[in-house]
Amino acid sequence: MQVANKLSPFFENLNFERDDNTMVINFGPQHPSAHGQLRLVLELEGEQVVKAYPDIGYLHRGIEKMAENMTYNEFLPTTDRLDYIASTSNNYAYALAVEKLLGIEAPRRAQVIRTMLLELNRVISHLFFIATHALDVGAMSVFLYAFREREFAMDLMEDYCGARLTHSAVRIGGVPLDLPKGWLENLATFCDKVEHELEHTYNALLQENRIWKMRLEDVGVISAEDALSWGCTGPMLRGSGVKYDIRKEEPYELYSELDFDIPVSDRCDSYGRYRLYMAEMKESIKILRQLIPMYSKTEPQLMAHAPQYISAPKEEIMTQNYALMQHFVLVTQGMRPPRGEVYVPTESPKGELGFYIKSEGEPYAYRLKCRAPSFFHTGLLQEILVGTYIADVVTIIGSTNIVFGEVDR
Amino acid sequence: MRKYVPKDNVQKKAYYTDRFHVVPRVPRLAVEDAHFVSVVNAVKADIIESYVEIGTLVLHIKPEDNFKVIKALKEQCGYTQCSEQSAVDYLAKDNEFELFWQLLNVSEAKRVRVVCRLANGAAIESIEPLFKSANFAEREMFDMFGIKVNNHPFLKRILMPDDWEGHPLLKTYPLHGDEFASWYEVDKIFGKEYRDIIGPENRDPSKIEREDTKRFSRVGYEVPFGAEYSEEKQEIEYSDTFLVDYNKKPSKILDERR
């Protein structure tokens, strides 16, 4: 282990050539394929990896510590910074955990909007995955096409909440805003566009592409037992043949009313996972299409009615004295949930995103633990990288779809 | 007189609590679900307390039984995934940690939380032989709380640097870091003797020093970079090359995205 100080600065490859003929290289933390700040210490024998050690923590901001020092509503925008590719899913996972703790439920219209935003975020995240994964493997044009479509999805998010990346589009107890005029029509157009592009651009470019298949097939094979044991969730688990999707098995929001399939792949390799992401995007489009007619059938209420925890709507605050008093107390002191603990899992685009909250009845959470899917997928790297070739390392990292905002928290 | 601040919990507290405020508790229901009853029966001998809280079965056990109970849950009850494990700091109140393991049964879609109380300074047995996800999770628990884990293959700090002092998620650890944390970079890069020269880190992102001419300038009182701050009005003539008159040609606003 090197200890760098002012007298002996850091040398990148101190033991470049060791006695046992293995070479130690640092992959990252500034490598463009490291998806943020992953430092991967690889021990190579020739071109083969004999030992891999993922070193994380370069993006550690102490989000769990911050949660203990912020009121529940204050903390919500911080969750944007977890998985910053699809931040609404983090907002939602956190809001749902607090709602379960409080024992309240969002009104129907808020549920429709939330489910729409969640699926839109899934499309955004999966498009980003296809784009960066293809770019890592060497297919540049897919990146450009996928980012074009992602940009349209981000425009939709911007129309709704004003932000492109850090949405904070969900509140504890509902959503802050109704959909703007013409948003649903734009969403329908977007669905058509993405569906068309999925078939005619990405699939046409990648699915039967000889180089793409050679780079992905039988690379990064994870057996079902390993995937379960290493805590893999989401596409990583379903890519190993385990059909488990929290939206289906432990349904939340409107997922129990919607008709959609859970794609599974038993190939266990990167190619299977890539096909899974493509299939999941199609399912998300299917869900979005079902949600559009559901919106008009709902009442206009957006936030749950629970005066003890949730502020009244703006009109009431401006007209009624008691609502204003309640709002003042909630803003200055924060809500005080009952004493208890809760763990709520949700299916974020990356996998199982869960929040464990321990409340002691104070306005500050006594302990908040964010169960981030990417954290466990990073742990898995130390096993699946062993025995692979250095050229496949980038493919495997790309295929795990890790985002360092939520690995390091 | 200085305001009393408890040293054992330096996290933020409510500044006002109603005298008559009674904190309710999330209901703890009796175990009635058929699957959960079978789970409780399978590990009955080692359970101190069991109840259902918000859809999750919670099993309280003794810390020395953790491997045995979790192994039984994995092998007899089908809990094949350990979603999460971590700890809660109760040192100030009970001088104990509360550890929890969140387990998932994939075929039944049920979740169990195994909870135990571990005395301060005691070590817990690693469940890494059962669930490999515990490898990273236990390292994080060690890093954040300093809880030692026996028989872990590689117990080492994971998020904080290897040479860090203190465990950040303890209630005694302040939010903005302690003395060691505030001088960490300076000590490491330049050495302790440079503390006076470099000075403490500015933690206020909106801090403005009007005397600092390296980072700030006052309109009309500009001086060269790093020069002495001056109260004299400066006459500066800007050349046309740098000043673009945006009013000359009105900008075009598109009706929709191209």
Instruction: List, for residues A127-160, the tens digit of each pLDDT value.
Output: 999 999 999 888 888 999 999 899 999 999 999 9
Residues in A 318-347 with any Cβ partner in B closer than 8 A: 333-334, 336, 338-345
- What is residue A347's predicted lDDT score, i.e. its pLDDT? 92
What is the rounded average pLDDT for all residues in chain A?
89
pLDDT tens-digit map of B178-220: 889 989 988 888 888 889 888 888 777 788 888 888 888 887 7
* Residues A291-305, mean pLDDT to the nearest whole number: 90
Per-residue confidence band for B231, with pLDDT thresholds at 50, 70 and 90: confident
CB contact under 8 A, A68 and B53: no
CB contact under 8 A, B84 and A360: no
> Looking at CA atoms only, how far is residue A260 from chain B in angstroms?
18
CATH of A87-308, one of 1.10.3720.10, 3.90.320.10, 3.40.309.10, 1.10.645.10: 1.10.645.10
- What is residue A97's predicted lDDT score, i.e. its pLDDT? 94
CB contact under 8 A, B106 and A242: yes
- What is residue A366's predicted lDDT score, i.e. its pLDDT? 93
Per-residue confidence band for B241, with pLDDT thresholds at 50, 70 and 90: low
Give one DSSP letter per residue of B62-97, joined into a string. Answer: -GGGHHHHHHHHHHHH---EEEEEEEEEEHHHHSEE
- What is residue A278's predicted lDDT score, i.e. its pLDDT? 92
Q: Measured at the alpha carbon of residue A81, what is the angle toward residues A77 and A83, in degrees to the nearest 5?
A: 120
- What is residue B244's predicted lDDT score, i.e. its pLDDT? 66
In the CATH scheme, what is the homologous superfamily, with its name and number, of domain B34-173?
Answer: NADH:ubiquinone oxidoreductase Nqo5 subunit (3.30.460.80)
- What is residue A18's predicted lDDT score, i.e. its pLDDT? 54
Of all residues in chain B, what percent carry a pLDDT higher than 90? Answer: 40
pLDDT at B26 over 80: yes
> Looking at CA atoms only, how far is residue A314 from chain B in angstroms?
25
CB contact under 8 A, B12 and A70: yes
> Looking at CA atoms only, how far is residue A20 from chain B in angstroms?
22
> CATH code for A1-60+373-409?
3.30.390
Q: Rounded CA gap, A389 and A381, in Å?
A: 13
Please give the biggest Cα pair distance in chain A: 79
Are B80 and B112 in contact by the 8 Å Cβ rule? The answer is no
Size of interface A-B (CB pairs under 8 A): 138
Question: Where do the domains of chain A lie?
Answer: 1-60+373-409, 87-308
Q: Rounded CA gap, A90 and B77, in Å?
A: 31
Tokens for B195, please give them: 């503390």
Site from A41, A69, A229, A375 to mutate, B interface, most B CB atoms within 10 angstroms: A229
A200 touches B at CB < 8 Å: no
CB contact under 8 A, B102 and A362: no
Instruction: Read off the DSSP letter of residue B4.
Output: P
Coil, strand, or helix at residue B170? coil
pLDDT at B44 over 80: yes
CB contact under 8 A, B89 and A362: no
- What is residue A77's predicted lDDT score, i.e. its pLDDT? 93
- What is residue A6's predicted lDDT score, i.e. its pLDDT? 61
List beta partners, residue A26.
A41
Q: Rounded CA gap, A206 and A139, in Å?
A: 9
pLDDT tens-digit map of A165-176: 999 999 999 999
Per-residue confidence band for B24, with pLDDT thresholds at 50, 70 and 90: very high
* Sign of the C-alpha dihedral computed for residues A259, A265, A269 and A275 taken in this order: negative
> Looking at CA atoms only, how far is residue A339 from chain B in angstroms?
5
Per-residue confidence band for A43, with pLDDT thresholds at 50, 70 and 90: confident
Q: What ipTM score was computed for the predicted complex, to two decimals? A: 0.86
CB contact under 8 A, A342 and B106: no
Q: Rounded CA gap, B206 and A74, in Å?
A: 19
